[in-house]
Amino acid sequence: MPKAYDSVTKHLIELEPERWVELLELSGDEAEAVDSDLSTVAPQADKVIRVKGERPYILHIEFQSSYESDMAERFMVYNTLIGYRTKLPVRTVVFLLRRKADGTVMKKPFQKCYENGEPYHTFQFRVVRLWEEPVERYLEGGLSTIPLAPLCAVKPKDLPAVLHRMKERIDAGGGDEGTLWMATYLLMGVKHKSSVVDRLLKGVRKMKESTTYQAIIEEGRVEGVAIGETRGERNLILLIGCKRFGEPSAATLAQLEAIAIPAELERLAVRLLEVESWGELLKGT
């Protein structure tokens, strides 16, 4: 099931794909986010970067907030399918957003074995445990990687100072400030209680100016609630949609408000970064 941060992390990678390559200290001359074209087979494998250079390759990034015993095998399937479609070698990197996402399958290469125990397929992938990462690396890196900083090796008492430095970088960076703060809010919600996140981010001017963001703050929703709760899902659609398509019309708001089926709202949330307008998103609803 898609998580609340899935769409926004995909958008962060699309903002500055080359910065993610630099963050991971990988080689390459240029980088571009590409459509993995796996919607009918692996719809969640959507964070894919084509890295150009003398030896081009694909960088496949996954974000994980919880542990699932089959996730290494799932990432292997994505890796294989992406490689088959692109005809390029694929590096898979998994960002673990919190300690609860770590486990046995994240600590060693994944192997498929015959009945006698002999391995016939080994899948190597890289794991980034954010709580072990130095925060300076993210504060001083690309703008699109800054929202991960509060999840790094930061003591709770140091979070206000980290957010202040983030604000200085974001204000001076000339990037999509609303999206960066939105991503920060969603990702912090993976690790911290919503009341703590609200308090820490209360003074961020760009978020206070966003009426859609305020609606989410007032509801106390987004991360930490079930994806199927219609109000939280609808607010998430409005938040991301406003950044992509502009403020919705009264008719569009009414159309969204009329959708009460959680599964339908989930489908719209997944499609947010695949369409170009409110009309296209809501077509057929």
Output the pLDDT for position 133. 97
- Only one residue has tokens 């994806």, namely 227
74 φ, ψ (degrees, to nearest 5): -65, -45
Do 275 and 281 contact (CB within 8 A), yes or no? yes
Q: Judge if 233 and 119 occupy the same domain.
A: no
Residue where one domain finishes, among candidates 132, 149, 177: 132
In a domain, 170, yes or no: no
Position 205 scores a pLDDT of 53
- SS3 (DSSP) at 92: strand
Q: Is residue 71 part of a domain?
A: yes
Looking at every residue in the chain, the average pLDDT score rounds to 82
Residue 236 near residue 210 (C-beta atoms within 8 A): no
Residue with more model confidence, 51 or 8: 51
Are the C-beta atoms of 207 and 239 separated by less than 8 Å? no
pTM: 0.70
Boundary of a domain, candidates 79, 113, 132: 132
pLDDT tens digits for 35-48?
Answer: 655 544 444 555 89
**Residue 111 carries which DSSP code?**
E
Counted domains in the chain: 2
111, part of any domain: yes
Range of the domain at 242: 226-285
Residue 258 has pLDDT above 90, yes or no: no
Q: How far is CA 255 from CA 4, 75, 238, 250, in A?
A: 21, 36, 12, 9
Note whether residue 166 is domain-resident: no
The residue written with tokens 């081009």 in the block is 56
- Among 97, 132, 167, residue at a domain's last position: 132
Tokens of 4: 């609340």
Q: What is the pLDDT of residue 202?
A: 77
272 phi and psi angles, rounded to 5 deg: -55, -40
Q: What is the mean pLDDT of residues 117-134?
A: 94
Residue 187 falls inside a structural domain: no
| Domain assignment present for 234 | yes
pLDDT in tens, 178-222: 778 888 888 998 888 878 888 888 766 555 454 444 544 454 444
